[in-house]
Amino acid sequence: MIRKAIKRFFCGFVCLDVINRAIKDCRESLNKCTKALKSIDKEIDDWLKLIKSGYLGARTNADINKRLRSYGIFKLSTELLADSVVEKFKFLKNLYVPSFTPRLIPVGEQTLINAVKSIPNIDNNFWLRLDGRYYTVSIDDLKEIIKWDWTDNKKYLYDLFDCDKFAMYFKARMAIMFHINLIALVLDYSSQHAYNIVFPFENGRITAYIYEPQTDELIRFDERDKNFYALETYVLVM
């Protein structure tokens, strides 16, 4: 019993010592941060003075660096550059990595067939199925995806990145980024145009819209401009 009590006493003593050391280290780190902040404060003031002075007549990058060094704020200029790089990285991350996660909705076999059958003149045209199972999202999630996606911002290049490339790119991008594969590629020979058809879940059922990947427009079949979306003679790739 005595040995156990002594052992517990020393264990507690050691733990207390470790905690005290950790607290001391934290205080030292806090002091260093405070000193660094004061130093940065001073450098910012010097930076502002330098800006107001018009770089003291500096005309070249070498002159500017020389002036920066003479004011003791060359270090701050590199820190500002690093901050700028970080901000640009965050901006690029928002472009390439969405801040939201849409909820995938599996689509049953008969539901899929019914959705395809809703496309005008589908019985007179050829449609190709590439996958065994299909997934979609709600209309609200789809609109958020379209708002985030930058396919429409890509530059149109005749024959190299034209309407069919836009439509193929959007279909592939949705499958890669969000695992949404219930998006059709339409090669509309009657309109000499290519675009997509999307099938979001809306009002308790799967609906179909024409989607123009060059402009982000969602268009109902009965509201389509038949000069661009005739849907008379076409091939549909699911």
> What domains lie within the chain, and their CATH numbers?
2-96 (no CATH), 105-237 (3.30.460.70)
Quote helix, strand, coil % in the chain, to nearest 5: 55, 15, 30
pLDDT in tens, the chain (238 residues): 444 443 443 344 444 454 566 556 656 655 665 665 566 556 655 655 655 555 444 445 555 555 555 555 555 555 555 566 566 666 666 767 788 899 999 999 999 999 999 999 999 999 999 999 999 999 999 999 999 998 998 999 999 999 999 999 999 999 999 999 999 999 999 999 999 999 999 999 999 999 999 999 999 999 999 999 999 999 999 9
Q: Give the CA distances from residue 140 to residues 92, 102, 154, 200, in Å, rounded to whole numbers and listed in that order.
A: 24, 9, 24, 9
DSSP three-state, residue 130: coil
236, β-bridge pairs? 127, 186
- Long-range contacts (CB closer than 8 Å, 24 or more residues apart) made by 224-232: 226/191, 227/191, 228/191, 228/193, 228/195, 229/188, 229/191, 229/193, 229/195, 230/188, 230/190, 230/191, 231/119, 231/120, 231/121, 231/186, 231/188, 231/190, 231/191, 232/121, 232/190
Measured distance CA(204)–CA(105) in Å, rounded: 12
And the tokens for 130?
A: 């590439």
Q: Which two tokens stand for residue 47?
A: 């930076």
Tens digits of residue pLDDT in 137-164: 999 999 999 999 989 989 999 999 999 9
- pLDDT of 55 reads 47
Query: Bridge-partner residues for 185, per DSSP?
Result: 196, 237
Q: What is the pLDDT of residue 13?
A: 40
Q: Give the HSE-up count for residue 130: Cα atoms under 13 Å, Cβ half-sphere.
A: 12
Q: What DSSP designation does 133 have?
A: S
pLDDT digits (tens, 9 = 90+) for 59-85: 455 555 555 555 555 555 555 555 665
Going by C-alpha positions, the residue among 87, 56, 96, 86 that lies closest to residue 73 is 56
- Both tokens of residue 30? 């806090």
pLDDT at 165: 96
